[in-house]
Amino acid sequence: MNMITNHMPTAELQALDAAHHIHPFSAQGELAKKGARVIMRAKGVTLTDSEGEEILDGMAGLWCVNIGYGRDELAEVAARQMRELPYYNTFFQTTHVPVIALSAKLAELAPGDLNHVFYGGSGSEANDTNMRLVRTYWAQKGKDSKKVIISRKNAYHGSTMAGASLGGMSGMHAQGGLPLPDVHHINQPNWYAEGGDMTPEEFGLQRARELEEAILEMGEDRVAAFIAEPVQGAGGVIVAPDTYWPEIQRICDKYEILLIVDEVICGFGRTGNWFGCQTLNIRPDIITVAKGLSSGYAPIAASIVSDEVAEVIGGCEFNHGYTYSGHPVAAAVALENLRILEEEKIVETVREDTAPYLKEKWEALADHPLVGEAKIVGMMASVALTPNKETRAPFAADVGTVGLICREHCFGNNLIMRHVGDRMVISPPLVITKEEIDTLIERARRALDLTLAQLKEEDLLK
């Protein structure tokens, strides 16, 4: 047991944290003044902080703890694997049982002929792999000029140099000289914010055709791949209009470009099927998986590629790999997680029972005076906040001001709901019960009420 976490008062822990720990995606100075909430333990969908408060985790950590917290089976498998073989690499003509078993299992679960797995430690790493993989693929086919990867604004594909470049987050591009060369971004299919007077269907088609325009503009001989999340997660749970994906698929089929579907959030049950591409009827050449692969219990990610991609890459020495590619402990934990997902029929329960229940309750939030739209696919959902439901207008205050106020009210009411600008998003553990869904909705509604009251008081409702 760790002396620090068990014996120090919250304020001292916060002071030490502020003094020595640099938080991701945080304004360090501001956070230091306020103090980070110290999370001590968790079970099911509930976190407990250092003051003993119980918090409903509406985000499954960072969209990852799909089977819920506190599953002993995973701890036991990890301990057993650490004793048996804590580490070995697969670089130099060696392999091990956990990585063999996990690869075979993923080939069985993944759709179509996605039968070959390259491992990383995070979604960002897996997308770095994808960037190198698709360029190497085309070079192997004698088409060196096919290097450009087309992505979308407001996409999230990670935080390494390649991940952040592939992503379309302007705040990330503004720091550190990104994006890398030969990454091109088209507009996102966010009808609510950008659709204007078009119908969602017209808008979906128009945004998909930007892919075709970009390919024609740059030349088919320069474009290697298109990458996208089935449902944009970190961008605010943006669900594309129904016309979007069929058109994207048509364009990818017509031109010689690879389709990379980033399933880091959508994979392993989040959308009500094993993979988001099944929910949305997309046929990728490569998928990126992470997060739900181990339910966040161990850092592991992968690129799962088609027979054809694997065959082409197999024709050369692919000079790429991470020390922790296919880490035996992480692989064993992932396998156990997949066993639980399958044997407890968690994906089926989401699809047939709990997600439809959540959908009904979530969509009812659209009645709230602050809510411009409520969107949901499986167990990922968002509401857009607005001062004017009819016009879908943004707030006059800086983007994110109102979202942050709402998030603070959620946090104050022991619900973790994230804000992306002025959209509120949830992605709870897939094992959430109907009773817990009721609690989540009750707290979300209370946070919306408190936000509305505060906006009126501070004259921000405009």
Cβ proximity to ligand PMP: between 183 and 265 the closer is 265
Instruction: Give, in order, the Cα–Cα distances in Å from 186 to each of 26, 153, 210, 247.
Output: 27, 6, 6, 15
| Nearest distance from C-beta of residue 305 to ligand PMP, angstroms | 16
| Nearest distance from C-beta of residue 425 to ligand PMP, angstroms | 11
β-pair type (54-57, 46-49): antiparallel
Integer Cα distance of 275 and 268 in angstroms: 6
Cβ proximity to ligand PMP: between 163 and 387 the closer is 163
Residue 179, preceding peptide bond in cis (omega within 30° of 0): yes
Other beta carbons within 10 angstroms of residue 354's beta carbon come to 22
| Nearest distance from C-beta of residue 462 to ligand PMP, angstroms | 33
Among candidates 251, 245, 250, 187, which has minimal Cα distance to 223?
251
Cβ proximity to ligand PMP: between 99 and 234 the closer is 234
Question: Which residue's Cβ lies closest to ligand PMP?
Answer: 123
Cβ proximity to ligand PMP: between 158 and 204 the closer is 158
What helix, strand, coil percent values describe the chain, rounded to 5?
A: 45, 15, 40
Cβ proximity to ligand PMP: between 231 and 312 the closer is 231
Contacts of residue 458, Cβ cutoff 8 Å, sequence gap at least 6: none
Integer Cα distance of 107 and 253 in angstroms: 23
Integer Cα distance of 154 and 319 in angstroms: 31
Cβ proximity to ligand PMP: between 98 and 230 the closer is 230
| Nearest distance from C-beta of residue 53 to ligand PMP, angstroms | 26
Integer Cα distance of 185 and 42 in angstroms: 39
Instruction: Give, in order, the Cα–Cα distances in Å from 224 to each of 124, 183, 263.
Output: 19, 10, 19
| Nearest distance from C-beta of residue 226 to ligand PMP, angstroms | 15
Helix (H), strand (E) at residue 245: helix 244-254
| Nearest distance from C-beta of residue 393 to ligand PMP, angstroms | 28
| Site of interaction with ligand PMP (CB under 6 A) | 62, 122-124, 127, 156-158, 163, 229, 233-234, 262, 264-265, 290
Cβ proximity to ligand PMP: between 57 and 229 the closer is 229
Helix (H), strand (E) at residue 66: none
Integer Cα distance of 235 and 334 in angstroms: 26
| Nearest distance from C-beta of residue 64 to ligand PMP, angstroms | 8
| Nearest distance from C-beta of residue 207 to ligand PMP, angstroms | 18
Cβ proximity to ligand PMP: between 229 and 247 the closer is 229
| Nearest distance from C-beta of residue 266 to ligand PMP, angstroms | 8
Cβ proximity to ligand PMP: between 236 and 241 the closer is 236
Question: Please, what's the largest Cα pairwise distance for the chain?
Answer: 67
Integer Cα distance of 32 and 14 in angstroms: 8
